[in-house]
Amino acid sequence: MSGTQPHDEIDDPVISIGVLAQKVGLSVSAVRKYESEGLLIAHRTGSGHRLFSREDIDRVRNIQHLVQDLGLNFEGIRRMQAILPCWDLLPCSPQTRQRCPAYRESNRPCWTIKGVDCAPQGNECRRCQVYRLGSLCTQGIKHLLQRRSDTESPDADAAVEKPGRRKSRPNVES
C-alpha cells in the first residue's frame, strides 16, 4: 500500500476544534479567530459543532508560517489569496464573471464574499479547489499567475529567464 491517503480521508471533517488546536499548537480561540478572519472554513455539524479535516491541519500550519515566519498579517494573507483567479479556475461564463462580486472585489478571496454565483450551483467553498489551493498553496500563487501569464503570451519563454538556466550571450568580437 502506498503512503498516500485517499482524497476523501484527507478532506473529511472528523477532527474537533480542540484536537486541531492541540495538533498545531494554538488555542481554541486562535483557531476561531482564523475562522472569523476568513482564513479557515469549519464544517458545522447539525448541532453547530466545528469539525476540521487533516487538510485543515496543513492549512492552519501554513497560516502560522505566513504569520510567524514571513511576517504577514491576516489582511495581507487575505489579499494574497484574493489574487487567485477563481473565475479562470472554475467554469464561469463571461456574463457570470461580470456579475460576480469575487471578480469585481480585489481585496478578499471569493470564499469570504457573500453572493457569489458558484455557491448556489452546489459548489461548497470548503471543497472548492479555489479555497483549497488558496489556503494551502499561498506561496505558489505567484508561480500560478506567472504560468498563466506565460501561456497567454506567445513570446513568454523568450522573455522570462527560467530558474537554473542562463541566457546565452551573443558572441562579441573585440
SS3 8: helix
SS3 160: coil
Percent of the chain scoring above 90 in pLDDT = 24
pLDDT, tens digit, 9 for 90 and up, residues 78-111: 888 888 777 777 777 888 888 888 787 767 888 8
What's the CA gap between 131 and 122, in Å, rounded?
15
Query: What pTM was computed for the model?
Result: 0.67
Task: Delineate the domains of the chain, giving CATH numbers in brackets.
Answer: 7-71 (1.10.1660.10), 72-157 (no CATH)
pLDDT, tens digit, 9 for 90 and up, residues 32-74: 999 999 899 898 888 989 999 998 999 999 999 989 988 999 9
Q: What distances in angstroms separate CA 117 from CA 92, 114, 137, 162, one per listed residue? A: 9, 9, 24, 38
What's the DSSP call for residue 83? Answer: T
